[in-house]
């Protein structure tokens, strides 16, 4: 009887609600903490991943991903897992927009420019990065660090940010740059990519926690 090669599993979670998410501010590289709701939802994410044993977890340099990982491990009742910190999956640098309220900026610059900044592929931001720039650092990280682990059949957890995850989704699913504006990584969403020994994604799953605030 032949032994089937083991597939790897890449599980991707966005960090849960941060203090600046709550305030509607562009956070970028600013190192803010999770809200109480964010801590609770991180544990809820973990509860959806209890059956998976991870070989390694990767986080960005921002503490909101570290706090989310801690919550996930607590919710899943995991022992500590090997943690790797990588700047390649940091959130997008929003340059001069950092700290500004998104909805006030939308009023100032109009809907078209606002959508270009938030969702566009190569829409310039003064002093900051485009999604194309983020893609240029995320993909080599995936190819050199994550992919070999997945090809070896490991289970890898990545806790990152909306834009670094969108850049990785573009690569994993071969999404054209004209279509990337339609790709969103929502809060509470978990992506699971099954990867074969050749490095090909053979299955994608989506899990979702309920992020609706409780009624008063």
Which residues participate in catalysis according to the annotation?
15, 91
Task: Measure the CA–CA gap between 33 and 173, rounded to whole angstroms.
Answer: 31
Residues pairing with 58 in the sheet:
84, 158
Task: Measure the CA–CA gap between 33 and 211, rounded to whole angstroms.
Answer: 18
Angle at 87 between CA 16 and CA 72, to 5 degrees: 30
Task: Measure the CA–CA gap between 64 and 35, rounded to whole angstroms.
Answer: 9
- List the one residue out of 132, 125, 144, 172 whose CA is nearest residue 86: 144
Task: Measure the CA–CA gap between 191 and 158, rounded to whole angstroms.
Answer: 10
Percent helix, strand, coil in the chain, to 5, is 40, 20, 40
CA dist 155 to 6, 51, 52, 65, 80, Å?
11, 12, 8, 18, 15
């Amino acid at each position: 009887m032949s032994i089937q090669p083991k597939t790897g599993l890449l599980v991707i979670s966005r960090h849960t609600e941060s203090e600046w998410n709550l305030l509607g501010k562009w956070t970028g590289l600013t190192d803010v903490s999770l809200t109480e709701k964010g801590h609770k939802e991180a544990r809820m994410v973990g509860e959806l991943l209890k059956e998976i044993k991870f070989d390694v977890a990767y986080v960005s340099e921002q503490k909101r991903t570290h706090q989310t990982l801690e919550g996930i491990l607590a919710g899943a009742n995991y022992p500590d897992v090997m943690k790797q910190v990588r700047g390649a999956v940091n959130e997008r640098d929003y340059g001069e927009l950092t700290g500004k309220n998104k909805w006030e900026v939308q009023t100032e610059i109009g809907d078209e420019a606002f959508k270009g900044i938030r969702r566009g592929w190569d829409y310039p931001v003064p002093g900051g990065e485009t999604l194309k720039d983020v893609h240029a650092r995320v993909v080599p990280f995936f190819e050199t660090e994550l992919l070999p682990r997945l090809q070896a059949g490991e289970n890898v957890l990545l806790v990152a940010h909306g834009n670094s995850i969108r850049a990785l989704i573009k690569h994993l699913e071969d999404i054209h740059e004209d279509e990337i504006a339609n790709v969103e990584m929502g809060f509470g969403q978990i992506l699971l990519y099954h990867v074969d020994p050749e490095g090909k994604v053979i299955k994608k799953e989506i899990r979702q926690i309920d992020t609706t605030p409780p009624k008063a």
